[in-house]
Amino acid sequence: MTTWPTVLAQSWSCQPRLKCSQIGSCDEARWYLENCSWGGKLDRDSDGMPCESLC
């Protein structure tokens, strides 16, 4: 399991953003993956890396 650095959530919330094009950074995508029930949808190949176009 990959351990990500702790990221302050700034103004992020678990309001669904189901497409990577709706997310502004890799850190934000990782936060959603770790903290939101729908975050797994950002990791289409289930390798632990969300939004590979951003990360």
Which band of pLDDT confidence, cut at 50, 70 and 90, is reported for residue 9? very low
Domain-located, residue 4 = no
**pLDDT of 12 above 90:** no
| Contact in structure between 27 and 35 (CB atoms under 8 Å) | no
In this structure, the number of other CB atoms found within 10 A of the CB of residue 1 comes to 3
User: How are the residues of the chain apportioned to helix, strand and coil, as percentages rounded to the nearest 5?
Assistant: 30, 0, 70
- Mean pLDDT, rounded, for 27-33: 94
What pTM was computed for the model?
Answer: 0.74
- Mean pLDDT, rounded, for 3-20: 71
- Domain around 29: 16-55
**pLDDT of 29 above 70:** yes
**pLDDT of 2 above 70:** no
Domain-located, residue 36 = yes
| Contact in structure between 26 and 54 (CB atoms under 8 Å) | yes
In whole angstroms, give the CA distance from residue 26 to residue 34: 12
Domain-located, residue 37 = yes
Count of domains for the chain:
1
Domain-located, residue 33 = yes
Domain-located, residue 32 = yes
